[in-house]
Structure 1
């Protein structure tokens, strides 16, 4: 049975767009006790610039391409765009190796293009969140060039160095290095430098106050241009224990606990808040905030004056697919975090980003039978949990993993270096590539599928990364014309969230915890109560929530009709929102 969304229901819900202004005003009137903030009420849309839209036919997405699609972004109803790095970079790690923090990578355009982009976003009521990559720089940054030139250079202590005469440095594992050694020997000064990621990404020495002041000045440069916040990449690793203790056995299972959140990390964030954040009305979030909910709270407790939103990975670091992990354990992750954050602090809610495979391929079902309905179900989940929803470009179309067959198709330093390392050890390369079809982060980086023309309308040149061949079926142009598409369902969800403060600030209560297929919970705020029912399986699944839904109002369902709800059964990947009486 092909799932469709009721045309009447869709038409009614699209009226929410016209009511969004009054709905936002209601937040202030009904939810003062919840400390209302714009970044709590926002829906954040992540744009990977290299893959969004190419304007000059060189095969690489760019700022002018994004500008040309601002009306599309606006039409989604989102409030803010998180833009992956666009700074000058040799591109060893797709822009996360920065050689100049105050210039734009030539692949993406110019600073004038950036200024036009920011202006265009603000004219449309869209805020811009920049990626801030300051755990490490590129080895082509002028700081590092100076640092490696001599041991007495004034920039030497901008990075972590270990003189060779002291013997072999203490072992540290590298995420991207072929040999998994984070210390790289540099003959020029007979010393080793630290790189937690690629050897072309030397770690900055945050213990150096001069380095910190340079970073703060750079942050003010962008904020004074008018950007609206920062997402801080890999910042959980910025503080190191420079006594370099031996790593305990099993440290790999909890990298953040043993490898990040060093002794001075919170000191640095509090200093950053005093000198930078507190001067602006912005959104701040750091990647990987702690290894437990309690750790994460330390970053965002308002009394500590650090960040205003926690972004953790426990909900996405679950292996190849949610079916392998188990829905009950998955529910527990969200419930534990919500319990910790129920009275203060704030969370991010997401299922995908540039470091993850496609949402529907990991958490749903991307077969032709279930791709659309499971994509809608997952979008419903993101938009109805408590926390700021982050939504990755292309997921509104239900874009899927591309599943490359050959290492030649991969550009990602992570996949390529792991392949080389495994090859050097005589490992099973076929099995590795098979696994990458499901887990590689490059699955989530393929070009946006705009239409059914060549290269999905992304470029007339040769795309930097292959376009998923299913673009003839899955593309924005086709879905614009279909009121029942995943694209239009996403728009409906965004407007529904804006209209109902209960979905932003409401209390979360888990129901039917032991159910292996159904994620059920309520959101409740000041006399309003909404029941959310989500079937994460490809089978009809019953639920037992102890709440009668007979006389309640159906707000939204990703199928036509709701007859099965009366007998407490959800169809495959069904999502239902019910306003309880």
Structure 2
């Protein structure tokens, strides 16, 4: 039989994502910070997770709330300083947890000293650290590329008569990873944080970091229609997922491996065959975990999920470890998307599939739909393309800790509205309720620790009635089976076994109740 300790910690463990602005405010400005995270670490430890991933904490003008980095080796004053970070890191490690940072290698802020220098003139030593081009033949942008936030991906600089590339906001100029000096400087950033003791990185939009030589036009998307994001009018064939990016990822991995026990998680939105390439090869590995968002992207029904899981598992190389996520700072809340009853089933799915799960703060409470009034919208993506449902504020609302004013998150009005049911849906209210979503997450995570089959065992899909997703996890002679009813009506149990846990109050032996998941052995 296996032991969790026979596997790297990132294979047997679970990651918990914290959005720092929205976790806990310690200084009364309505925005979360590092000291606030430190204050609430016992909640994270009590869940039973193994690592914390922090969304960006670096100095930033906050045009895209930290994903526009003005200094890769500092801490944004809103969040604290390097001393506050060191205290947080020590407190995380004291609880036996790991800490991952969010590395943003595709672009910096336009206020980063590197870009200020690059923009100072065509003869700047750092001009080629970013992607500058002359206007096209018509005097407009050099090509037809569209920003992920809408509009041209090029911004004209009148002083030098050239355009610079930005895959996102114009305040986020793309870095040129074909320049060896830029590449060396960014690897030095990783060294800085590894030397400080961080346990790894989640790497933002990793598949974006190299662009095709010559920057040719992207082809039109024949399936695009009005009402979806403008970016998708084109197929990003030349602006993302270039072959040269894999060598860069391999260099990052070699650096991480030189420190021992560190992990790299790559944000990569690609079809299975191209996604799997980001594992690299045994001789030249790339990221440990290319993030897998398919539980977010696919319809919530048993047949679709079964086919998706089978295809994803089949796409993995023998040395590739899977991973799963049902929520993030960019995606709609799982309970808002499929309802609270199925969100309980989703929790069981996430924490019993083969691979490393990532939880997003607040999902352990079942936070659902949060409507953001127009005058409270902060997300630049929503502000630039309103009305098509892509706003991310709804997933970034503050954690509700208790029923005190402002939910115990702050002493003042938070930067975003709280979930409307915060007086009853908060950590304190669920803390001692055995039927709460929080209690369910804790029990599921405890089961993962108690049963190596769930943490690191083999995986096999099982036959089941329509509307039911069933599978088996096996570690030697130890077998654990999972049955998930993704419907609103009773379904037959696909197997017989002793119930370890139900998503409802108590398991029955012969049927799956509506919206019920059961783990047996």
| 1:27 and 2:18 matched | no
* Deviation of 1:41 (Å): 0.9
* Deviation of 1:275 (Å): 4.0
Q: Aligned partners of 1:253 and 1:385: how far apart in 2?
A: 35
Match of 1:316, SS?
A: helix
1:210-254 Cα offsets, whole Å, 9 max, x none, are 000000111100000000000000111001002222322328389
Change beyond 3 A, Cα 1:516–1:354: farther
Matched residue count: 510
Partner of 1:200: 171
Runs of 5+ consecutive residues of structure 1 not aligned to the other structure: 1-22, 366-370, 420-431
Contact conserved, 1:254 with 1:291, CA < 8 A, in 2? Answer: no
Match of 2:285 among 288, 305, 313: 305
Change beyond 3 A, Cα 1:280–1:535: same
Partner of 1:17: none
Q: What pairs with 1:45-84 in structure 2 (closer than 5 Å)? A: 45-84=16-55
Q: Aligned partners of 2:487 and 2:117: how far apart in 1?
A: 56
* Deviation of 1:120 (Å): 0.4
Match of 2:310 among 326, 335, 342: 335
Match of 2:21, SS?
A: helix
Q: Aligned partners of 2:74 and 2:504: how far apart in 1?
A: 48
| 1:573 and 2:518 matched | no
Contact conserved, 2:92 with 2:98, CA < 8 A, in 1? Answer: yes
Match of 1:283 among 234, 256, 263: 263
Q: Aligned partners of 2:78 and 2:181: how far apart in 1?
A: 31
Match of 2:375 among 408, 429, 441: 408
* Deviation of 1:191 (Å): 0.7
Match of 1:101, SS?
A: coil
Q: Aligned partners of 2:159 and 2:60: how far apart in 1?
A: 23
Q: What pairs with 1:137-536 in structure 2 (closer than 5 Å)? A: 137-164=108-135, 167-168=139-140, 169-177=142-150, 180-250=151-221, 252=232, 259-288=239-268, 290-293=270-273, 295-318=275-298, 322-323=299-300, 326-341=301-316, 343-362=318-337, 364-365=338-339, 371=340, 373-404=341-372, 406-419=373-386, 432=387, 436=389, 440-512=391-463, 516-536=466-486
Partner of 1:19: none
* Deviation of 1:520 (Å): 1.2
Contact conserved, 2:400 with 2:422, CA < 8 A, in 1? Answer: yes
Match of 1:250, SS?
A: coil
Match of 2:75 among 97, 104, 123: 104
Q: Aligned partners of 1:342 and 1:385: how far apart in 2?
A: 17
| 1:556 and 2:501 matched | yes
Match of 1:121, SS?
A: helix
Match of 2:422, SS?
A: helix
* Deviation of 1:143 (Å): 0.6
TM-score if structure 2 supplies the norm length? 0.93
Change beyond 3 A, Cα 1:263–1:150: same
* Deviation of 1:83 (Å): 0.4
1:65-122 Cα offsets, whole Å, 9 max, x none, are 0111111111111110000000000001110000011111111011110010000001
* Deviation of 1:484 (Å): 2.2
Q: Aligned partners of 2:320 and 2:234: how far apart in 1?
A: 23
1:51-78 Cα offsets, whole Å, 9 max, x none, are 0000011000001101111111111111
Greater shift in the superposed pair: 374-383 or 97-106: 374-383
Q: Aligned partners of 2:40 and 2:81: how far apart in 1?
A: 18
1:435-490 Cα offsets, whole Å, 9 max, x none, are 53xx5322110000101111111111121111112101200001112122111111
Q: Aligned partners of 1:449 and 1:255: how far apart in 2?
A: 40
Q: Aligned partners of 1:102 and 1:65: how far apart in 2?
A: 21
Q: Aligned partners of 2:3 and 2:161: how far apart in 1?
A: 64
1:246-287 Cα offsets, whole Å, 9 max, x none, are 322328389565541113001111222334543332011110
1:343-367 Cα offsets, whole Å, 9 max, x none, are 32112211000101111112x31xx
Contact conserved, 1:297 with 1:345, CA < 8 A, in 2? Answer: no
1:354-382 Cα offsets, whole Å, 9 max, x none, are 101111112x31xxxxx2x4332211111
Q: Answer 1 or 2: which has greater helix percent.
A: 1
1:508-557 Cα offsets, whole Å, 9 max, x none, are 222237x55221111122122221111122222346x4xx41xx211111
Contact conserved, 1:273 with 1:307, CA < 8 A, in 2? Answer: yes
User: What RMSD in Å do the two structures reach over aligned CA positions?
Assistant: 2.0
Match of 1:380, SS?
A: helix
Q: Aligned partners of 2:106 and 2:274: how far apart in 1?
A: 23
Q: Aligned partners of 1:78 and 1:456: how far apart in 2?
A: 24
Runs of 4+ deviating beyond 4 Å: 253-258
Contact conserved, 1:508 with 1:522, CA < 8 A, in 2? Answer: yes
Contact conserved, 2:256 with 2:264, CA < 8 A, in 1? Answer: no
Q: Aligned partners of 1:69 and 1:55: how far apart in 2?
A: 10
Greater shift in the superposed pair: 259-268 or 103-112: 259-268
Runs of 5+ consecutive residues of structure 2 not aligned to the other structure: 223-231
Match of 1:315, SS?
A: helix
Q: Aligned partners of 2:196 and 2:21: how far apart in 1?
A: 23
TM-score if structure 1 supplies the norm length? 0.84
1:494-520 Cα offsets, whole Å, 9 max, x none, are 11001111112222222237x552211
